[in-house]
Amino acid sequence: MTPHMMCVTQLASPATKQMYSRILTSALFAGAAAGLIAALLQLVFVQPVLLHAELYETGELVHFGGAAVSAHPELPGFDLMRDSLSIVFTMLTYTGYALVMVALMSVAEGRGAEINARTGLIWGLAGFITFHFAPGLTLAPEVPGVAAADVADRQIWWTATVAAAGVAMWLIAFGSNKISYLIAAVLLLVPHLIGAPEPDSFSGPVPTEIGALFAARAFGVGMAAWVLVGSFAGYFWQAEGERTEASA
């Protein structure tokens, strides 16, 4: 038995190393690429709405109670420091998402799932639902200046909802019986039936038109970015696998 065990250690070690390298490399490429595109989409489609809202948040513009305000004010343009930080943090965030996704892809492939750029599209959609849409359905994307409950309470609700939705997505994708679909439905519904922490009163100074556009844009850009991160993750996972096999 002892020689066998030794044999396992010797065999498993390079294989495990290869697995670390394959997961990390695929996730870094996929996350950085999708994150960069996400950041650019955000700068073009979300940032102007956010900057417009901030004019109301700071009181520079006032909604109601005065002369009608133009819906097309002069917005501050590209801010090198602020927007560069946004690009870096978006790339980091999507790399974090990609690490989780590629790790789960490796587990799924071990169970017989096909992982490539095409199936990655569905992984991306599931990731969007898990990390963005499920929490956002009740804790709607917040435009600056919006009234909200205590941030720690909302983070707890956000985290629990994301965890529940993530398990639900896995059960829907890989569950083998009706019970797993039922559990998935319960996991998806319950956080919203319980409800997210809400503010005591509404004091948001931002026009509803801006708030609605912000939520729509945040979800739209989020979905595009997630679908890309999924597809890229599938692509790099497969490409890295072929590269490792070729060099082995």
CB-nearer residue toward other proteins: 20 or 64: 20
Q: Quote the CA–CA distance of 10 and 151 in Å, as a whole number.
A: 49
Of 42, 26, 88, nearest in space to 231 by CA:
26
* Region binding other proteins by CB under 8 A among candidate stretches 64-72, 81-89, 113-121, 186-194: 81-89
Find out whether 119 and 174 touch, Cβ atoms under 8 Å.
no
Binds other proteins by CB under 8 A, chosen from 110, 111, 177, 193: 110
**Total binding residues for other proteins by CB under 8 A?**
58
Binding pattern to other proteins, positions 15-54, x when CB under 8 A? Answer: xx--xx--xx--x-----------x--x---xx--x----
The region that residue 65 occupies, defined by phi over 0 for left and psi between -120 and 50 for alpha, beta otherwise, is left
Task: Tell whether residue 107 is a contact of other proteins (CB under 8 A).
Answer: yes
Closer residue to other proteins (CB): 1 or 67: 1
Q: Specify the residue, 75 or 179, whose C-beta has the smaller distance to other proteins.
A: 75
| Spatial distance between the Cα atoms of 161 and 173, rounded to a whole number of angstroms | 18
Q: Which of 148, 165, 213, 229 binds other proteins (CB under 8 A)?
A: 148
Site string for other proteins, 206-225 (x = CB under 8 A): --------x---xx-xx---
CB nearer to other proteins: pick between 64 and 202: 202
Among 33, 139, 227, 233, the residue binding other proteins under the rule CB under 8 A is 139
Site for other proteins, rule CB under 8 A? 1, 4-5, 8, 12, 15-16, 19-20, 23-24, 27, 39, 42, 46-47, 50, 82-83, 85-86, 89-90, 92-93, 95-104, 106-107, 110, 131-132, 135-136, 139, 141-144, 148, 151, 154-155, 158-159, 214, 218-219, 221-222
